[in-house]
């Protein structure tokens, strides 16, 4: 089976999170000469395939087979891949069954490797991800099988295939502030404590403010207010409390403790509460590390493009690998139709991605 045929076969599985729809069993059978470990929990399936070629280092290709719901506006069945003008249309074409097909085929064709070659796949990346890659890595750590390096095949390219890899990701910290006031009649403001007026005084110092200066890898961490609500939608009652929600996509220079101190600086003396939650930690992989250098060379050889090193975008399962000290990068096809109707990627990109991964395996 060639990579395009494999790609189309994977796209035909209606694997909406967290249902793998049989795709993981298909991959296990396709790579039947690899050892298989299943880490399944709470309806989520995780498959780890590995082969020890030698005593050297462990390189893992990681990704997910689950996709978001197709939604409306499709020109064709989202789970029946259609080829038009050199593109293949289906849900998951970019995010990320193109990447999965490319590394599965590259690993299948691998004849020699200096150490251990593996694949880690989950059926829950697009959802809560609680029992996906995160859980599988906990089990792999218990077994002493955490890889040294990882390549996550998320779509990373911007304008042309080969123009960008991700060597890190920002973290994500969510916050909720509740400012308590004293409800009253709008005609007697002196008898009330209006939380809107209090918060309005500090908003110019907080909204959209950079919490650090960033660095060579990351943009500054920005305090982004996402929701403010108070009152009962009447004009003659001042509210008794105000709720403000915010998000910070933080780099490695700003932590939860820094954000807590920032909020307290402006809310000091007010009757307020703050709740913070961290859904992702930031990480960066040294550009001089082996995995970055090898994939840079492979991309340039296949595409003629020297990729830029990016940390932009949201989060991915790469964050879980990085927490274990795994030197992790991301590289995949162009990202311009993910999660949209008529998601597509070109056959040329899928073939090129597979060639890049083959060269990485050969040179590692």
- Taking only the tens place, the pLDDT of each residue in 88-97 is 999 999 999 9
pLDDT computed for residue 1 by the predictor: 80
Name beta bridge partners: 36. Answer: 49
- Chain-centroid distance of CA 221 in Å reads 18
Confirm if 151 and 360 have CB atoms less than 8 A apart: yes
Which of 20, 95, 124, 125 is flagged as catalytic?
Answer: 125
DSSP letters of 57-94? -EEEEEEE--B----S--SS-TTS-EEETTEEESTTTT
Tokens of 99: 């990447």
pTM of the model: 0.90
CB contact set of 123 (below 8 Å; sequence gap of 6+): 15, 17, 18, 19, 20, 23, 24, 44, 45, 46, 64, 65, 66, 132
Q: Answer yes or no: 125 catalytic.
A: yes
pLDDT tens for residues 16-62?
A: 999 999 999 999 999 999 999 999 999 999 999 999 999 999 999 99
Q: CA-CA distance, 149 to 60, in Å (whole number)?
A: 6
pLDDT computed for residue 70 by the predictor: 97
pLDDT computed for residue 284 by the predictor: 96
pLDDT tens for residues 164-208?
A: 999 999 999 999 999 999 999 999 999 999 999 999 999 999 999
pLDDT tens for residues 122-165?
A: 999 999 899 999 999 999 999 999 999 999 999 999 999 999 99
Tokens of 40: 């399944």
Confirm if 343 and 73 have CB atoms less than 8 A apart: no
Which of 19, 20, 66, 330 is flagged as catalytic?
Answer: 66
Confirm if 203 and 270 have CB atoms less than 8 A apart: no
Q: Answer yes or no: 66 catalytic.
A: yes
Check pLDDT > 90 for residue 314. Answer: no
Name beta bridge partners: 64. Answer: 122
Q: CA-CA distance, 342 to 348, in Å (whole number)?
A: 18
pLDDT computed for residue 357 by the predictor: 98
Q: CA-CA distance, 93 to 98, in Å (whole number)?
A: 6
């Amino acid at each position: 089976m060639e990579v395009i045929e494999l790609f189309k076969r994977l796209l035909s599985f209606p694997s909406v999170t967290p249902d793998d729809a049989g795709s993981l069993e298909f991959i296990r059978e396709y790579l039947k000469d690899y050892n298989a470990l299943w880490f399944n929990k709470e309806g989520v399936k995780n498959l780890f395939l590995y082969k020890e070629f030698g005593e050297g280092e462990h390189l893992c290709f990681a990704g997910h087979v689950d996709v978001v719901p197709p939604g409306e506006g499709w020109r064709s069945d989202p789970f029946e891949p259609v080829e038009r003008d050199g593109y293949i249309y289906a849900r998951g074409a970019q995010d990320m069954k193109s990447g999965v097909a490319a590394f599965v085929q590259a690993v299948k064709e691998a004849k020699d490797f200096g150490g251990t070659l593996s694949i880690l796949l989950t059926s829950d990346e697009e959802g809560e991800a609680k029992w996906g890659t995160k859980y599988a890595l906990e089990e792999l750590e218990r077994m002493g099988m955490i890889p040294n390096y990882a390549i996550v095949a998320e779509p990373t390219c911007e304008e042309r295939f080969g123009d960008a890899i991700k060597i890190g990701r920002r973290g994500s910290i969510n916050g909720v502030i509740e400012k308590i006031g004293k409800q009253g009649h709008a005609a007697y403001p002196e008898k009330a404590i209006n939380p809107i007026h209090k918060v309005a005084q500090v908003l110019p110092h907080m909204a959209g403010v950079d919490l650090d200066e960033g660095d060579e890898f990351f943009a500054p961490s920005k305090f982004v207010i996402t929701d403010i609500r108070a009152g009962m939608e009447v004009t003659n009652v001042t509210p008794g409390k105000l709720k403000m929600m915010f998000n910070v996509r933080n780099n490695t220079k700003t932590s939860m403790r820094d954000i807590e101190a920032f909020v307290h600086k402006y809310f000091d003396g007010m009757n307020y509460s703050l709740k913070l939650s961290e859904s992702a930690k930031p990480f960066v992989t040294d550009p001089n590390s082996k995995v970055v250098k090898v994939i840079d060379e492979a991309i340039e050889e296949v595409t003629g493009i020297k990729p830029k090193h990016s940390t932009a975008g949201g989060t991915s399962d790469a964050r879980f690998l990085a927490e274990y000290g795994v030197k992790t990068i991301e590289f995949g096809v162009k990202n311009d139709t993910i999660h949209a109707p008529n998601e597509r990627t070109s056959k040329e990109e899928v073939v090129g991605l597979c060639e890049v991964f083959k060269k990485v395996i050969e040179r590692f």
